[in-house]
Amino acid sequence: MDIIVYAIPIFLVMIVMEVVATIIRKKDYYRLNDAINSLSAGMMSITSGIISKIVEIAIYTGIFSLLAPIKFDSSELWVWIVAFVFYDFCYYWTHRMGHEINILWAAHAVHHQSEEYNLTTALRQSSSKFLLGWLFYIPMAVAGIPPLVFFTVGLINLLYQFWVHTRHIKKLGWYENFFVTPSNHRVHHAKNRKYLDKNYGGVFIIWDRIFGTFQEEDENYESIRYGTLKPLRSWNPFWANLHLYSDMWKDARATKSWKDKFTLWFKKTGYRPADVAAPMKMPDIHGYQNYDPTLSRSRQIYVGVQFFILIIATTGLMAVYHTTPTWFDALWITVLGINLVLNGTVMEKPDQAMKLECLRFGITGIALAGTAALLPVASIVWVGLIVITAASLACLRVFSDKHESGTAAIES
Ligand SMILES: [Zn+2]
Ligand SMILES: [Zn+2]
């Protein structure tokens, strides 16, 4: 069973606690659509990780076996301590390059697209970072850090970063000097000019202090605006992962410069060929209206319930994928991905809900029928949930809310 299966309920409980604190304190730190989109990106990342992890493990283990002159013993405590610090140092550079290089930003931007800042933002992870992210950890493999130690400290590093994605915790005194905290990570997610491209550390903030990228949160400065300078403006988690690659692909096709066609991917973030577009200017972040298409209360409840079922299904897949055939895992990674995309699209285009939901139930039903023999109990449970939600769909009159138009809000 994947360790993430144990972490998911803890994440959910902490998110619920933060939502309750937000309501009690009368803050506006949460929006259902934004939270669902962040969690959808996170769920896509962990399910596609079933496949991409195989690639990451193969690359790291291969380099470790072939190139490490000394292989350290994972039973030594000091190896774990050194590896933990070493990992965070490499993380600092992968994260910094993730902001500074076009093709790396295309992967990392997913984590920054939320225009809110809360614990769901922490789970908003890219599905494509495995493609090039491993490059920055080669030094650990060559230095002889065993794969078990490497992947475990990597997981601890990632888990640490969860709690810092909150606006409820202010500054933490001396702790701010050494560690990544909610305050200095808020700066990292801000798109205000003073805060851009700062605070890249994962656990330790000392790397930013050493390499000149540290910026303290300034209470006297303008209020923080979260998100990316080139906003996503969509609730489609698949598009969230693709849209910057797509932009670069279009630029590479449009430019007449053969040099640019090949090099624009590796240039500084935001670079576009001169014959395609002028360099991007700093947009007016304070005049910017967050992406928030209207959705009636009944559809919010409906989408929320559907999404909760998808969380259960995703957790189920993460619990069984070690025991099921690869084709089964690949099929359900795809089907769950389609479910997440269509659930997000209902939030964008509520007037298309009927069509989208029929499509979703159709695809899921066929997949359930085709794989029921492997997991009969899970299939029966899911069919039951689909029947229940289909009934609630009718009760909530989700298809007949003619008064709202999501598309109007999208265009505004
Ligand atoms: Zn970042
Ligand atoms: Zn973050």
Q: How many residues are given for the chain? A: 412
Q: Is the predicted pLDDT of residue 408 greater than 50, yes or no?
A: no
**CA 404 – ligand 1 centroid, Å:** 36
Highest mean pLDDT among 74-78, 275-279, 362-366: 74-78
CB atoms within 10 A of CB 371: 19
pLDDT at 390 over 70: yes
Q: Is the pLDDT of residue 409 over 50?
A: no
- pLDDT value for 383: 76
**What does the pLDDT read at residue 119?**
98
Q: What is the pLDDT of residues 5-53, one digit of tens each?
A: 888 899 999 999 999 999 999 999 999 999 999 999 999 999 999 989 9
- Taking a C-beta distance cutoff of 8 angstroms, is the pair 124, 41 a contact? yes
Of the residues 152, 177, 211, the one at which a domain ends: 211
Helices (H) and strands (E) in the chain, counts: 17, 0
Residue 290 in domain: no
Per-residue pLDDT of 149-208, as tens digits, reads: 999 999 999 999 999 999 999 999 999 999 999 999 999 999 999 999 999 999 999 999
pLDDT band at 398 (very low <50, low <70, confident <90, very high): low
Same domain, 26 and 134: yes
Residues whose CB falls within 8 Å of the CB of residue 114, separated by 6 or more in sequence, listed in order: 34, 37, 38, 120, 121, 124, 189, 226, 227
Domain assignment present for residue 223? The answer is no
Whether the per-residue pLDDT at 76 is higher than 60: the answer is yes
User: How far is 319 from 333, CA to CA, in rounded Å?
Assistant: 13
Let me know whether 186 and 325 are in one domain.
Answer: no
Question: Which pLDDT score, from 0 to 100, does residue 407 have?
Answer: 41
Q: Choose the final residue of a domain: 177, 211, 245.
A: 211
CA of 112 to the centre of ligand 2 (A): 7
Q: Which residue has the higher pLDDT, 374 or 55?
A: 55
**Residue range 389-394: mean pLDDT, rounded:** 71
CA of 405 to the centre of ligand 2 (A): 33
Query: What is the mean pLDDT of the segment spanning 306-317?
Result: 92
Residue type, 198: K
Mean pLDDT along residues 219-228: 94
Q: What is the pLDDT of residue 3?
A: 77
361 part of a folded domain: yes
Mean pLDDT of 89-107: 97
CA–centroid distance, residue 125 to ligand 2 (Å): 9
Structure tokens at 27: 């803050």
Does some domain include residue 236? no
Report the domain count for the chain: 2
**38 CA to centre of ligand 2 in angstroms:** 12
User: pLDDT: is 399 or 67 the higher one?
Assistant: 67
Last residue of a domain, one of 192, 211, 230: 211
Expressed as residue numbers, the domain containing 330 is 297-411
Distance 7 CA to ligand 2 centre (A): 18
Residue 291 lies in a domain: no
Nearest to 47 by CA among 341, 288, 258, 411: 341
For the chain, the average pLDDT equals 91
For every residue of 141-173, which 3-state class applies, written as one string? HHCCCCHHHHHHHHHHHHHHCCCCCCCCCCCCH
Of 394 and 282, which is predicted with more confidence?
282
DSSP state of 204: B
Q: Is the pLDDT of residue 354 over 70?
A: yes
Residue 233 belongs to some domain of the structure: no
For the chain, percent of residues with pLDDT exceeding 90: 74
User: What is the 75 CA–ligand 1 centroid distance (Å)?
Assistant: 33
DSSP class of 375:
S
Residue 164 has φ and ψ, to the nearest 5°, of -80, -10
Residues 179 and 88: beta-carbon distance below 8 Å: no
The rounded Å distance from CA 160 to ligand 2 centre is 11
Q: How far is the CA of 341 from the centre of ligand 1 (A)?
A: 24
pLDDT of residue 302: 87
